Each structure stands twice: as structure tokens, then as C-alpha cells.
Chain A
Amino acid sequence: MTMRRLVFYGALLALSLAAPFLFPAFKTQLATLWLMIIVALSWDMTGGQMGYNSLGNIFFYGTGMYVAAVITIAIAHDVGEYTAASGGGIYTWTWGQYFAGLVIGTLGAGFFCAVCAAVIGWITFGLRGPYFAIGTLGVAIAAGELVSNWDWVGGGQGITMPNYPGDFERFKLLIYYLFAALGITLFVFVSWLYSTRFGAAINAIRDDEEKAEAMGIHTLRYKMVTWAMAAVFVGAAGAVSAFQLIHFEPLETAYQTINLGIFMVVCVLLGGKGTLWGPVIGAVMFHAFKEVTWSYFLGWQWIALGALIVVVVVYFQDGLMGYLRQRRPDWFGMRVDAGETP
């Protein structure tokens, strides 16, 4: 790693650690930005690097939320009784119980989502092309509908998490750093992963699955492991979101298929599919666009978002990184011989 790179990454890390102190009024906004980065990066693991466009990654987000909620409640109380009382004020958590819930809940959510991804992937990865997208979308919608009919976890009313037992500003800071830690871990992890043989194998699956299989790559195993790794991070991010939101319900918050479920795809397309930085840059751009429309075009924000999706998908599918790669290939270490005609 060159010196310049080291300085760049160091400055970026310092900025992301100092951000909540530089902009104390925007702690929640910045935490949401990290959430977008996490889901975009993990979507790109299958969508960009492996060529399997999932529309159902939101399933892991919602499942992570519910797993974290159930674990946290079960540490101190009986889940069925708690949800039947709709989180009435008589239930309390001690500091120890709350943080045990936070840690075990987040880890448990990641683990459970990985298992879910392996099982669902085993069934759906035989589906190619659009059927995979439709199938995973179906899984996410069905899960939301089933959970909203499941009274043990609160049904359509949703479920209420315990309040943070301390100062609320501190709590926002804690959530920000949890998301930031998760995001930085994910970024370091994927940048390492894409440089290994594993990364080369999933790229081979994207480029030509039949050939990859003929080369001796056990494609199903690679696909399942990749999706499970993505699911760990989305599930853990969902768990942190559950603590952040305190109250959530299944259809609009947890399994929000048409909100976050599509946003993550648009983030990746906006930044550039199949690149390391693309999802991060796309998430930042998309989040900025979303906040501007939400603040200044209230009532029209959804139409603006739909239009953005259409425009990005139809006209700008290679994203910013793809555009740059075409215009300035030397930045990406590609050499273009002058004089040679394409």
C-alpha cells in the first residue's frame, strides 16, 4: 500500500470517527448513511460481483430486527406475555440485560440470517436471471406477510424494544458507532475478499456460470457462502436498526420491500456495480438525493425517487464508477494503447 493511499484511508477513517462530533445535530442521519453503505456493499457481493441480482436482501434486514428483538426481550421477560401487553410500561431492563441483548441480539441476528441465506439459497440459486430476483422478492414479501400474522412477535402491531437506560444523546452516539464499526468491518472484509481466490471464483460465476462449473468451481457452494456472508452483515445491521428505532412493525419497517429493499439496489447501480467503491459512493449520493427530496419536495418525494430509479436503470446503469472507468481507464490501472483502434 502506497503512502498516499494510507493517508487517504487514514483521513477517511478519522473523518468517519469524528463525524458525529463535527455534526452533532445529524447523528441519526449519519447512522442511516452507514446503514445504506452496509446494505449496498452487501448487495453488491451477490449482485455486482456474482451476477445474482437479489431483490430480497431486505428479508435479512427484517429477520435480523426480529431476531434481535426476540433475544433482547427473552433475556429479561417472557416474549409471548410481553407482546400480548404491547410493551406496556411495567417491563424494565437492567443495564446488564440491555447490553447483553445488544451484543447477543446482533450476533444472533447475523448468525440466524446466515443460516436462512444458506437454506433459501440452496432452494433459489437454481433460479437464473429474473426468476432469482422474483423468487427472492417473493421470499421477502411472504416473510413480511407471515410475520404480520404471527401474534407471538406482535403481529401487525409490531414489537417494541426496551429504551436505552441512559442519556439519549449518548444512545445516538452508540448507534452511530455500531453502524460505523459494522460498515468499516464490511468494507475491509470485502476489499480483502475480492482480492482472494474466492473473489475470483464468484467473478467467474458472474461472467459465465457454465464455464465456471466446467473449471471445477462448485458454484452452488460458492453462491450459498457468498449470500450467507452478505446476510450476516445485513442481519446485524437490521439488529442495530431495531435498537435504534425502538418500535417497529413488519410491513413498513422490517420487511420494507419497496423502500430499503429497492434503495440498496439503486445505490449500487448509481455508484457502479461490481466495484469496491461504487456501492459506498452510490450510497452517499443516494442518501443525499433522498434527504434533499424529503426536505424540499414533500409529497412528491416518492415520485422523484421512482423517477430516479427509472433514470438510473435506463440511462446510467454503469454508475459513476463505470462512467469514470470508461473516461479515465488509467485511474483503474488499465492501460490504453494509443493508436490501436477498437
Chain B
Amino acid sequence: MDQILFNIGLLFQFPLVNLKIVIDGLMIGAIFALAAYGLALVWGVMNVKNLAQGDFVIAGGYTSWFLVRTGWLQGLGLSDNAAALIGVPVAIAVMAGIGWICYRLVITRVVERDLFTSLLATFGLAIMMAQIMNLLFGSDTQSLKLEYDTLYFADGLIDVPIAKLIGVCMAAGLAVAVILFMKNSRMGQAIRATSQDSRAARVLGIDTERVYAFTFSLNAAICGAAGAIIVMVWVIQPFYGITYSIRAFVIVTAAGLGNLPGVIAAGLGIGAAEQYGSHVFGIGYQQAIAVLLLLLVLVWKLARQRRQRRVLE
């Protein structure tokens, strides 16, 4: 208890600490928002609640990590940093393929089924993916140590590694690209039409099966990019997937489907809230805080729903 009060006091004594926490939180929050946007897409378009979301992220991270560690790119004369940057598009491509395979084998039979089926089937998928990665890469935490500098502000109190900045910029760029794709391309239009009314879309000649397959691999690709960014700055481990899944669910539940600004805002907010929480209560509570946030969001939604019901009565 004293420790918690001391930590809170620290926030008021040194206001700059707040700034550091917020910056850290926003950076990790950007990655959460990316994974959550993929989930919102799949959930909204094909009504599949993908619990394997986090494992796609981790798989993307391992793809990039494996590419850099094998040293093929370095053999061509590239530096580690450049190899890690190339790892992002490679992870996107590989994960799109894996997402397509997952869709063909499992998800396609889940799309039209009840809600619990998709939750449980993707949970099985998540267990399988985590275990396969465990067998392939071992259970140690892995990271790419990149040779970028760190920027210091305010007498070294705030440190911003350039690698993190690059990661955030890539996340933002990717988000913009996906938005433009959804708005302007033919496929993006078909996806949006299917999410509005899949039967009408089918009547109008849209091959919804193809749209579903594309959406799911797009989601996996987005997750893969998030993972490749994570491995540049933070660490990955085969069983870390569930943490990203939980956060994606928190964000989507809070923001609602098909609400991209909401997803981004919720992602950044949860990143910041989590950093504050782990500063005040200690790092051991980080996971618990994320889950409790999910419960709070659910209860809040429930209370709002009850109020609406009362109004209807």
C-alpha cells in the first residue's frame, strides 16, 4: 500500500514522469490498435471472434526474427537494421498465406455458425499455433537488438528509442494504407458491402467466399506486420499471444465494430492506461490490469444497455 501511494506521489512530484508514461503507452498502444483493427475487420465482416489474433501477431514476429537471424539478407550486404525493416513486408506476405490456409481449413466452416463455435475453434487454433512456434523456435523470449540510437529529452528522463519511433510510424502508415484500400479499391468495397449484408452482396454478384478468405488473410497480414514491428523493439515468446488477443478484445469491445477512429483511440488509451497501472501497482499487475479493463468495459456496456432497456420500457 505504501509503495502504491509512493508511486502515485511520484507522478505529482515529477510531472515529466507522466509524459514518459504516456509516450510509452501510446507507442505500445499503436501496436495494440493495429491488432485490434484486424479483429474488428474479421468480427464485423464475417462475425468470427478470432481468439488466435495474438498468435498471428507472435507468428509474424517470429517470421521477421527468423529472417534476420538466418542472415540471408545480411549475406547480400544489408545491415541488421535494414534486414529488420525488410522483415515487415515479408511477415505480411507469410502471414497472409498462413491466414489463407487457416481460413480454408477451419474458418470457412465456422463463418455461418453460432458465436461460441468461432470462439472455441479459434481457441484451438491458438493453442496449436503457440505450440508449433514453441517446437520450432523454443520457449525463450526473443528480440532483435537493433543498432539505432535513443533520443533523450528533459535531462535523460524521457528516452525515446528511434526503433520505437520507426515502429510507430510504420504502424501508422499501415493503418492509413488499409483505410485507403478499404475506401477505394474494388475489393475494399466488396468487403464493406459484405459486412453490411452478406446475402444482398451475394445477390449482387459478390463472391462472398472470396471476400471472407481475403478478409481473413488481410487480418493475418495486419497482425503479422504488428508482430514484425514488435520484435524490433519489444520481446516475443511463443505463449505471449494471449496478451495481444486480450487487448484486441478489450479495444474492439470498447470501440465497437467498424469504427476505426474509435479503435485507434481505444488502442492508444489502453496502452497508456496499462502503463499507468503498471507504474502505480507494479509490473506484475500489467496482465491483470488489461483483463480488468476488459471486464470494466463489458460491465459499462451492460449498464448502458440496461439503461436503454429501461428507456424502452
Contacts and interface: CB of A to CB of B under 8 A. Distances in A.
A149 interface: yes
Interface stretch (B123-131, B153-161, B184-192): B123-131
A197 to B, nearest CB: 27
B49 interface: yes
Contacts of B135: 299-300, 303
Interface in A127-179: 127, 129-131, 133-135, 138-139, 141-142, 145-146, 148-149, 156
Contacts of B131: 302-303, 306
Interface in B116-146: 116-121, 123-129, 131-132, 135
B55 to A, nearest CB: 11
A306 B127 contact: yes
Contacts of A17: none
B110 A306 contact: no
Contacts of B302: 123, 126-127
A310 B124 contact: yes
Given A135-B295, A262-B123, A310-B124, A146 B117 contact: no
Q: Which of B121, B123, B249, B299 has the most CB of A within 10 A?
A: B123
A interface, by DSSP: helix, strand, loop or mixed? helix
A53 interface: yes
A275 interface: no
Contacts of A300: 135
A285 interface: no
Contacts of A12: none
A134 B249 CA distance: 9
A265 B120 contact: yes
B285 interface: yes
Interface in A57-85: none
B246 interface: yes
Contacts of B118: 130
Contacts of A149: 282, 284-285, 288
B259 interface: no
A309 B120 contact: yes
Contacts of B126: 306
A104 to B, nearest CB: 30
Interface in A228-268: 258, 262, 265
B246 A141 contact: yes
Nearest to A299: B135
Contacts of A126: 302, 305-306
B123 A141 contact: no
Interface in B237-266: 242, 246, 249, 253
Contacts of B287: 141, 145
Given A262-B123, A306-B124, A310-B106, A145 B117 contact: no
A54 to B, nearest CB: 10
A78 B183 CA distance: 65
A306 B125 contact: yes
A313 interface: yes
Given A303-B128, A309-B121, A309-B124, A130 B116 contact: yes
Contact of A313 (B49, B120, B128, B282): B120
Given A129-B115, A146-B288, A123 B299 contact: yes
Given A138-B294, A142-B288, A145-B287, A303 B124 contact: no
Q: Which of B110, B124, B305 has the most CB of A within 10 A?
A: B124
Contact of B124 (A55, A138, A156, A307): A307
B291 interface: yes
A255 to B, nearest CB: 11
B298 interface: yes
Contacts of B121: 309-310, 313-314
B119 A130 contact: yes
Q: Which of B116, B121, B305 has the most CB of A within 10 A?
A: B116
A135 B298 contact: yes
A305 interface: yes
Contacts of B180: none
Nearest to A257: B242
A313 B124 contact: yes
Given A145-B287, A148-B284, A262-B123, A130 B109 contact: no
A258 B127 contact: yes
Given A127-B298, A309-B124, A145 B49 contact: no
Given A129-B116, A141-B291, A313-B121, A305 B127 contact: yes
Nearest to A124: B298
B292 interface: yes
A138 B49 contact: no
B304 to A, nearest CB: 11
A122 to B, nearest CB: 11
Interface in B15-54: 49
A188 to B, nearest CB: 29
A317 interface: yes
A142 B292 contact: yes
A299 B128 CA distance: 12
B295 A138 contact: yes
Which 9 A-B pairs rank lowest in CB-CB distance, beginning with the nearest?
A309-B124, A306-B128, A145-B288, A306-B127, A310-B124, A302-B131, A142-B291, A130-B115, A53-B116
Given A127-B302, A309-B123, 9 more contacts: A126-B305, A130-B116, A138-B246, A141-B291, A145-B291, A302-B128, A302-B131, A307-B128, A310-B128
Interface of B: 49, 106, 109-110, 115-121, 123-129, 131-132, 135, 242, 246, 249, 253, 282, 284-285, 287-288, 291-292, 294-295, 298-299, 301-302, 305-306
Interface of A: 53, 55, 123-124, 126-127, 129-131, 133-135, 138-139, 141-142, 145-146, 148-149, 156, 258, 262, 265, 269, 299-300, 302-303, 305-310, 313-315, 317
13 contacts: A123-B299, A124-B298, A126-B302, A126-B305, A129-B115, A133-B119, A134-B119, A134-B298, A135-B298, A141-B287, A146-B288, A314-B109, A314-B121
